[in-house]
Amino acid sequence: MSTAGTGRETSLKIVGGRFCNEQGIESDNVALLIRNGRIAATGLAAGQATADETFNAEGCIIAPGFIDLSCNLREPGNGQKGNIFSETRAAAHGGFTTVCASPETSPVNDSSAVTHLIMDMAALHSPIHVLPVGAITRGLEGDLLSDMAGLAAAGCVAVGNGSKCVRNARILRRCMAYARTFGLTVMFNPENQALAADGYAHDGLVASRLGLLGIPEVAETTAVMEMILLAEETGVRLHLSQLSCARSVDMLAAARERGVTVTADVAMHQLVFTDKALAGYDSRFHVRPPLRSEEDRKALIAGIRSGVIDAIVSQHQPHDSAAKQAPVAATEPGLSSVESVLSLGLELVSQAELTLGTLVRALTHGPASIIGSRASLAEGAVADLCIFDPDAHWTPGANTLVSAGRHAPVIGRELPGIVRLTLAAGKTAWQHPAN
């Protein structure tokens, strides 16, 4: 694991505020003492200890640092869209202390050399933990296996194919069988390329009306079923990234019921928006998989509530402005989303679609379990923390975003939830200027 720091020399005491655990039970914080990058003491013991600095968390929620299973840092290779310096700071602004870096870089992260490069750059430039995901096929081409064991040894937490399809089921099966040998988790975005074809919007009424080329629901569901069956046969630990369809959630639940080791995540924007967001050809909402119907959105929320879907991710995809300034078909997919995940989630909480505990679980314990990590506020744990004020508001705008990508899902609308302090291994990764 690339740790952001070796721990602070000075100690920090956090007083006030409330903890939120995954059951959503909140308890008052007396004090939390952080020393040498770890939580050194809690409760009365911490309260009586002396520390070099004190942070007053009055009115705030104290949660484990958020973990993002799908984040594009764009480095190496796409500096015009963002880099490790800018995007990890954006993530820290969003309360994340760990991001899994997508293998879709240039060059692709399909060798230990690229993995080392990413981790070295992260050690230099990132205030948070960066965990690379390796490419499961060479160049993400879907034809040849990558050196998976080498990637894992170099520090990759999982192997996957980014947003690219593995078209050939025989190769997919071999990818899984080979990854299984080393106990690696495989991450796939389920999409049948032949069915998705040239599409870029949900194949439904909105696409029909606006004349956009559709990606049918079956492009995802047939891939989900194929991947589940292959995982069941090979015994690999399968993680399905960024589901978008109600029926995928049903198939996932059924597979888990019969004991298949399969987990899944969903992007926050899939829980908030539907294909109607493309109204007026708003190319920001050209995302992949596409935003689907209200029924799909509801089913994905229900999947998070029941725990069938383990994690909420940002699927952060920063772009330069040219990539988004064109008719929808000519734009690149993806939102600059990592800074607004918490706020959009808190809106769902205020609309009673999620509870605060469920939201926090899907951003902490859920993703932690998939990458074999822990999210904890217990004594002795690594001090990865997010302290946010759920009742304070901010308005995302071109000048309030830290990311190089300005195409946030919500611009100019007041959102709840300000991250006051993000600590990664005890070090300040983000502190709100107003503190």
Name the minimum Å distance from CB 297 to another protein. Answer: 15
Q: With H, G, I as helix, E, B as strand and everything else as coil, classify residue 393.
A: strand
Quickly count: other Cβ atoms within 10 Å of residue 362's Cβ. Answer: 28
| Minimum CB distance to another protein smaller for 37 or for 199 | 199
State which residue, 63 or 291, has the beta carbon closest to another protein. Answer: 291
- CA–CA separation, 71 and 103 (whole Å): 10
289 cis-preceded (ω within 30 degrees of 0): yes
**Smaller CB separation from another protein, 25 or 326:** 326
Cα distances (angstroms) measured from residue 368 to each of 18, 66, 265, 362? 22, 9, 12, 9
Q: How far is the CB of 263 from another protein (least distance, A)?
A: 31
Round to whole Å and give the CA distance between 37 and 22. Answer: 23
Q: Which is nearer to another protein, 183 or 211 (CB)?
A: 211
Smallest distance, another protein to C-beta of residue 245, A: 14
Within a 13 Å sphere around the CA of 366, how many CA atoms are in the beta-carbon half? 29
Per-residue DSSP letter, 151: H
CB of 213 to another protein, least distance (A): 8
Minimum CB distance to another protein, residue 265 (Å): 27
Cβ at position 199, least distance to another protein in Å = 11
In a 13 Å sphere around the CA of 403, the CA atoms on its Cβ side amount to 31
Binding site for another protein (CB under 8 A): 203-214, 216, 276, 279-281, 322, 325-330
- Report the nearest approach of another protein to the CB of residue 283 (Å): 8
- For another protein, the closer CB: 168 or 208: 208
Structure tokens at 44: 């009365």
In the complex, least distance from residue 326 CB atom to another protein, rounded to whole angstroms: 6
Assess contact for 285 and 277: CB atoms under 8 A. yes
Residue 221: CB atoms within 10 A of its CB come to: 21
Using the 8-state DSSP alphabet, how is residue 68 labeled?
E
Q: Give me the residue label for tokens 């997508």.
A: 102
Residue closer to another protein (CB basis): 290 or 366? 290
Please tell me whether the peptide bond between 76 and the residue prior to it is cis, using omega within 30 degrees of 0.
yes
Q: Which is nearer to another protein, 280 or 433 (CB)?
A: 280
- Element spanning 209, H or E: helix 205-210
Q: The tokens 């032949």 sit on which residue?
A: 194
The smaller minimum CB distance to another protein, of residues 52 and 282, is found at 282
- H-helix segments, 235-292: 246-257, 268-272
Q: How far is the CB of 260 from another protein (least distance, A)?
A: 31
CA 227/CA 296 separation, integer angstroms:
20
Residue 159: CB atoms within 10 Å = 28
Nearest distance from residue 202's CB to another protein, in Å? Answer: 9
Render 321-365 in DSSP notation, one character per residue. GGGTSS-GGGSPP-B--TTTHHHHHHHHHHTTSS-HHHHHHHHTH
Of 204 and 345, CB closest to another protein: 204
Q: Based on CB atoms, which residue is closest to another protein, 35 or 202? A: 202
